[in-house]
Structure 1
């Protein structure tokens, strides 16, 4: 119990103080973004995609006798399409004149990531995994939270400080509560995991793959391959 609570506290601290952590670090913003991007890409290919394949196999065995071979992949596709559509719909209002329009855009965007954080937090704490797995994969998730928070900070600094960071942190905490107090359902968890997997893929590409002018290539490449190597090694040694 103390382990998950420690991870929750770390996530909340990252979400509330993301900009201070990045700006005060000697690593620098560009290296932070490249580090997070490299680990995020690795996380997708060495954890999310294999886990999605495993969940699909389990779903086919336990959910329905006439199960297809791609239901959960379709939910992943829905996750990508939903977040892409909602992001683009919100961005349509961004370039209209007036500060109130800009504030509404930021509020809609923050609500979207409130739900996003809540769903990620739910699958992190509802999944059947060891404390060691939870802590290890929380590194990638925490850096992802940090990068998304920093992007929202750059969108609207005053509103992010006023309520944005607390809404994002609230999403994490509510997701943890839902995972703690609701009965375990393998089917529900598989569906949510698949949907969120698609959303994570979209957001990693949008927020964490550094552009040419803001990338530190050695940090990005090193982070991707080191995190991948450690993940594969732990899977082999600990049979995750």
Structure 2
């Protein structure tokens, strides 16, 4: 990676960290009905999944087939099974959060996470963030345009995810959680500069990342109590899709 690319990705990872540290100051997002900006970000995330993540999983599928010497159908099943596993793991984590908060309320301890569930939540999202930081340096789809689109999609995704995490355990998140996951994304970027993991391992991790992004979008946008807006959601989806298609076909 050139010095210029290092500086650009370094600036991007600092923005990611800043989002985690300062999302709580965006008080206009904390409203019912749901903020239109969050619905817009959800639309961008959905577009990112279908136009970036799923095609990139296909690229990793070819890497699996080549490096492991397995038939294309086996590689395809493996990669998409990992994406499904990523969705299942994050769904299980969200269920654990809800059950933990219910137990705390039943014990009269307030609406808070039990310590072990809090640590599990932070460890899981920390690993997710490390991968995001790593992929700033090592991505399947190269080029400045693709990197910019990756940055925009993940930045908006972080805003949405952070908003959800603060709803789950705002005190603990403000005290320690935001620092842990902000440090994790920087650590992942540093790891990407220091080393390059095998294509198969990156494919496995990326597939898990894909599943977690899908789950986060569904969790934040679909529940009825969110009172989400369809038009901002659709606008975010269409604008991001247009940018992706323009970057691929016009540049």
Q: Distance in 1 between matches of 2:102 and 2:226?
A: 24
Q: Distance in 1 between matches of 2:234 and 2:36?
A: 11
Q: Tell me, which stretches of 5 or more residues in structure 2 are unaligned?
A: 1-5
By how many angstroms is 1:125 displaced? 2.6
Q: Tell me, which stretches of 5 or more residues in structure 1 are unaligned?
A: none
Q: Distance in 2 between matches of 1:201 and 1:24?
A: 21
Q: Secondary structure at the match of 2:102?
A: coil
Q: Secondary structure at the match of 2:100?
A: coil
User: Number of residues paired by the alignment?
Assistant: 236
Match of 2:144 among 122, 131, 137: 131
Alignment of 1:46-195 (within 5 A): 46-66=51-71, 68=74, 69-96=76-103, 97-99=107-109, 102-104=113-115, 105-128=117-140, 129-195=142-208
Q: Secondary structure at the match of 2:174?
A: helix
Aligned to 1:229: 242
By how many angstroms is 1:209 displaced? 4.5
Note if contact 1:78-1:195 (Cα within 8 Å) is conserved in structure 2: yes
Q: In 2 relative to 1, CA 133–41 (structure 1 residues): closer, same or farther, beyond 3 Å? A: same
The root-mean-square deviation of aligned C-alpha atoms, in Å, is 2.4
- Give me the TM-score of the superposition, normalised by structure 1: 0.87
Note if contact 2:60-2:199 (Cα within 8 Å) is conserved in structure 1: no
By how many angstroms is 1:78 displaced? 1.5
Note if contact 1:110-1:168 (Cα within 8 Å) is conserved in structure 2: yes
Note if contact 1:119-1:175 (Cα within 8 Å) is conserved in structure 2: yes
By how many angstroms is 1:148 displaced? 1.0
By how many angstroms is 1:103 displaced? 4.6
Note if contact 1:125-1:179 (Cα within 8 Å) is conserved in structure 2: yes
Q: Deviations over 1:107-153 (max 9, x none)?
A: 43233212222222223332142233212211110111111111122
- Give me the TM-score of the superposition, normalised by structure 2: 0.84
